[in-house]
Amino acid sequence: MSMSKAGIPKGTRDFGPVEMGRRNYIFDQIKEVFRLHGFSQIETPAMERTDVLLGKYGEEGDRLIFKIMPRGRKLNQLKTELEKDQTAEVAANKTAEEALRYDLTVPFARFVVQHQNDISFPFKRYQIQPVWRADKPQKGRYREFYQCDVDCIGSDSLLNEIELINIMQEVYERLNLPDVTIKLNNRKILAGIAEAIGEKDNMMEITIALDKLDKMPVEKVNEELKNRGISEEAIEKLQPIMNLSGSNEQKMDTIADVLADSEIGQKGVEEMTFMLGQADAMGYKNIDFEVTLARGLNYYTGAIFEVTHPDFPSSITGGGRYDDLTGVFGAKEKLSGVGISFGADRIYDLMLQKELFPESVENVTDILFVNFGDNEAAQVLKWMKQLREAGIKTELYPDTAKMKKQMKFANDKNVRFVGMVGEDELNKQEITLKNMKTGEQESLTVEAICEKLGK
């Protein structure tokens, strides 16, 4: 066998026992909230057929999809395509039959269409799985990461959007991250703006520029708009929007004014007003209407969401409404959907930085028994059965090593109690239970311990 250096691809990570305890804590909280809102879980394969994914995320997205190298005859076809003076990228897209999924929304749309006869709508699903992007890694940006998606498909009602806001609030409340800001916008407003300033066909250009407002001054953005081919007149008309400020209501008033003549814009204003009103009625104070919020994913058509935290550089949740994602897979009727995705890995990084993980997620064993020999071990095995039936996590050190070594092991593993059963305890039929945090110890019967620590 050939030797190789141990290592993993860039932008990927191993998760040890401590990290998994924390990660599962995040997943459990998120899952619990999803279930409380009536969503059910699905899973889809790590890979999809390439044509399912290509063209759904825009040009940049296509480039970031991991294609799986073809095998056998297809591999020779790749060679032929390359010889036809194709770029390697085009050749790869043409010949790779499979690719790793880039997100969970597009595979979900594929799933819905494929199983449309078995699904009753509106279909509320959640899905927690890894996705892969051929990105250049940075802080909070990985090439393999988990998304926690909730989507409702087959309903136009804005109540779905409202429920998603509730879910975001509940999740971040549970995770002890109350400082998040939920940013809202609507693609219809963005379309309306483009229409109102007479640049209907340049909506993407305008939204990309608007998105940069939080990074560069207005003058720079104006310059960029000009470079992107937007007329001076249109840029002039855009200024009230670029200089938006004040409360959500004040911003909405200004926008409504600018969009008075745009049908689609008015629809967007109507939707946004409803959502802001509902959020206000729930007493939420951290909702921000931001026209600059664009979100690159091509398929969004209505509301768009993004959650940020002051101590983290990038968004930790994002999503929106898509009207026709199932259409491209040949759905019988038009199915509108809306959903969001929690970025578990970014939430993990943020919570670690803020030291928000409860200590309890790190201990896996309640009682570790010191091994004093065969006779003692035989008795401990019986007692452990009783303890486990009472819901107490317990284990026996497998070797009769030195006490010091066993105690150190217990300490390193962060167990709550050490159980000692030697000759004295066998005679008394009791267990010496030591609290590893306080150092106190007492002699108790197994029944008394079940009573004390049992679930």
Partner RNA sequence: GUGGUUGUAGUUCAGUUGGUUAGAACGCCUGAUUGUGGUUCAGGAGGUCGUGGGUUCGAGUCCCAUCUUCCACCCCA
Interface residues toward RNA, by CB under 7 A: 9-11, 57-58, 60-61, 64, 103, 133, 135-142, 145, 147, 208, 211-212, 215, 294-297, 306, 313-318, 341-343, 345-346, 372, 403-405, 407-408, 410-412, 418, 420, 422-425, 432, 434, 436-439, 441
Query: What is the closest distance, in whole angstroms, from the C-beta atom of residue 358 to RNA in the complex?
Result: 18
Helix (H) or strand (E) holding 48: strand 47-49
Cβ atoms within 10 Å, residue 119: 16
Give the integer Cα–Cα distance in Å for 269 and 20.
Answer: 43
Shortest distance (Å) from residue 376 CB to RNA? 9
CB 228 to RNA: min, Å: 11
Q: Which is nearer to RNA, 35 or 139 (CB)?
A: 139
What are the backbone angles phi and psi of residue 337, rounded to the nearest 5°? -140, 165
Q: Is the peptide bond prior to 70 cis by the omega test (within 30 degrees of 0)?
A: no
Residue owning tokens 């897209």: 93
Report, in Å, the least distance between residue 402 CB and RNA. 7
Q: Measured over all CA atoms, what is the biggest interatomic distance in the chain, rounded to whole angstroms?
A: 95
Using the minimum distance from each CB to RNA, give the nearer residue, 147 or 326.
147
Tell how strand 317-322 and strand 303-308 pair up: antiparallel
Between 135 and 232, name the residue whose CB sits nearer to RNA: 135
Which has the closest alpha carbon to 249: 266, 273, 279?
Answer: 273
Determine the angle formed by the axes of helices 374-389 and 446-453, rounding to 10 degrees.
Answer: 40
Pick between residue 259 and residue 290 the one whose CB is nearest to RNA. Answer: 290
Q: Kindly tell me which of 56 and 188 has the beta carbon lying closer to RNA.
A: 56
Residues 6+ apart with CB under 8 A from 440: 434
Nearer to RNA, 258 or 449 (CB): 449
Question: Is 35 or 437 the residue whose CB approaches RNA more closely?
Answer: 437
Helix intervals (H) in 3-129: 17-36, 50-53, 58-64, 73-83, 88-95, 105-114
- Phi, psi (rounded to 5 degrees) for 394: -145, 155
The distance of closest approach from Cβ of residue 8 to RNA in the complex, given in angstroms and rounded to an integer, is: 8
Find the shortest distance in angstroms from Cβ 113 to RNA. 21
Q: For residue 373, how many other CB atoms are within 10 A of its CB?
A: 11
* Cβ 339 to RNA shortest distance, Å: 10
Between CA 339 and CA 62 the distance in angstroms is 21
Nearer to RNA, 59 or 201 (CB): 59
CB of 444 to RNA, least distance (A): 12
